[in-house]
Structure 1
Amino acid sequence: MPIELKMPALSPTMEEGTLSRWLVKEGDSVSSGDLLAEIETDKATMEFEAIDDGIVTKLLVAAGTDGVKVGTVIAMIQGEDEVAAPAPKSTPTAAPKSETPKPVPILSSSVERQVSATQAIKHLENVQNDRIKASPLAKRIATNNGLDLAGVTGTGPNGRIVKADIEALSGEARSPSTPQEREPSLRQETPAPAFTIDTDIPHEVIKLSNMRKTIARRLTESKQQVPHIYLTVDVRLDALLKLRGELNASLEARGIKLSVNDMLIKALALALVQVPKCNVSFAGDNMLQYARADISVAVSVPTGLITPIITDAANKSLSKISTEVGELAARAKEGKLQPHEYQGGTASISNMGMMGIKQFDAVINPPQGMILAVGAGEKRPYIVDDALAIATVMSATGSFDHRAIDGADGAMFMKVFKELVEKPLGLVA
């Protein structure tokens, strides 16, 4: 039989995607492993490979179509063995009488309901056993309207009393008047109202990318559902800048140049190891305590923001971190990251210091428990050895999920992070 090609879930959070481009056309022969299409997810554009051999018989979704739900059939493939074999002639067979569908009784407030003898018997059994079978919604509607279910004959499966029976009994098809009376399925299927702006100001309508839609949804959920607590420290950078200069001089022959952000990633990871109560995720009745520090690094790309991950950053050298950050950032800007390279992470870092931002509060990226926002290093009056001096100082703000991380633990984390940056030899020890 024909093989259905369905929209794949190319990441754990993917619910829909854009079919950017077909790499095959109808009539093409394909083998397992051949590239079929390019699909834009919420984070990257990825290639979709064939699993089976055969011939593409139909492309059901046009290239450029967005909002294609995961599991939607997007193409059909005819297996090569089926193409070669002649189609068997079908001979009509009479369906067994036992499979003939039974007529469904039509219920109306103006027409007397017809029920089978089996349903009536089951209803009597319910009453006799004082065990009336009714759906939860039917019971709620009956209670709210003072109706006695003992006088109702159910037309649902096995004589079960359903909503239609209550409506017919009352003589009118009621619409639930309270949210509690509505079926859960109806609540889920009710579409959200369209967000429109009525304006006469000249403007251009720009269609949101899948990434931008995901960013909007996740950040809204984070601010609504995660209680943020913000803790800020001022960190002196002079020692770290000096060490960076010395390390870059020794790494020049290898073509490696450390950035301040590379060193802050290492400091963040080490601080998480030293203060494990901040290396956590809130999970309802449980909390996940991570055994290593995987740092998500915020990278700005044309379509939004993505966070490639430096895994086990606390146990990697600064040169290794620098190399990985460069490679991941380059692939992120090309939309070529694989899901495992940006899904997960135990904490995040967002650095806007290079744009002159002095201090800001970052939004936590669930399910992570914290994110560190790094501002610009700048010359400021600073107390050094009990005397007023000029020092290069940076403000860093930690955003913590207060459901999982207490203020005292967050404060301890920021203290350790400050010490690691101001005494940076610990980063290379």
Structure 2
Amino acid sequence: MAAVAQAPPPDAQNAAPAVAAAAADPNAKKDAPAPAPAAGEKKLSGAELKARAKAEKAARRATKVVAQQASAAAAEAKGGKSKQKQDGPHVVGGKGKPAASGGAAPVAPAKKVKGPTVPECFSHLAMAKRVTLSQADRDVHPAVLLLGQQMSAFVVRESTRRLEATLLALKKVIESYTTPAGSTLSRHITSHVLNPQIEYLTESRPMCFSMGNAIRWLKLRISEIDMDISDEDAKKRLCEGIDAFVREKITMADGVIVESAAEEIQDGDVVVTYASNPLVKRALLRAHRYGKKYRVVVVDDVHDRSGTDMAKALRAAGLDVTYCPDIAGSLTMMRHSTKTIVAAEAVFSNGAVYARAGTCDLAQAAADANSEMIVLCESINFTERMATDSLTYNEIDPELGTDAGFRLLFDTTTPAHVSTILSEHGGIRPHMVPGILKRMEFL
């Protein structure tokens, strides 16, 4: 019996017309049916049709690559740049509007914000940054979105004010929360609701120590909620707990500290303070209302000049105020000072004080002048961490930085230069800080 000759597989020349047709019609469907065999051509099997389709697809892909390379070469020859793929919607004219589907609208290149150059050895230091609303997680609450923008722009600056604003924003998150079916509030809200809010705030600006303490306290309260109570009762208890926390740890604590600081001031004192802080301002005004006669020297921070507002407010209240534009110019005044009162962002467990950059220099000048160094700080800002320098924990100023260097927002004053730390627990020496930490229930 004579053998039946098989039709040879299509070669490159037979595949060329198909490739050209595919290139001419880019909208052709990939799964289009195979064309009917020509007269006298044997019908191919399924495996052979699959092999031919695979070969045609590879040929089309190679043709497309060659065309892209030729287009890029032509663009470079004209001095232009090849078009690159971008993530997210295209922006037209920098207005934030999506481009038309046809792709004819020009794409405005995104402007890269140039920040300070940070050497590798300081890469562990964090820095505040503007997180656009489009980059935030879709689960972030609007109140938290607004707070993140305010913190990254340093509208909300002091640690205690940031803490209070964070707790109030999280309270709104809890009030609007609804437990999904099949879940319980205590097991769902922390990981699926609170964590996205906290991550967004941390991306906007590094979390201060008081925020970390309060968030740890809040998560502990959530884990202690009985699963048998209703969601409304659980949310009510959490919101009441947040209000009580703000009232006790911030409002009442500030009142006690202001009263204690005012009592420390005596007639004839020369009190030196640094820049502007609402807690220090309240203490100085309180002592003045008590009828005490003393002088105030306001040493300003050369980078934000907030001390000018402090000096104007104190002078308007009738105090005898001397304004110094920088620390270098205040050395003469420091020789006559009796007390130096500043506020701290945090206090480490070894008694070191974490405060606005420049506080350490002021403390050293106070020590040389035998001036008592008094630090005002709520216990919520105490941390169990330790620091002996200003580089272990710090933030980089996102605005005051150049290619030649960068500026740190805070510095660390060693316990040897601190006389008294005033908190709502009274005046303590730096070595007594661990005892306060043991009394704090959220640690």
- Please identify the structure whose Cα radius of gyration is greater: 2
TM range (shorter): under 0.3
TM-score (norm 1): 0.22
> Between Structure 1 and Structure 2, which shows a larger proportion of helix residues?
2
> Between Structure 1 and Structure 2, which shows a larger proportion of strand residues?
1
TM-score (norm 2): 0.21
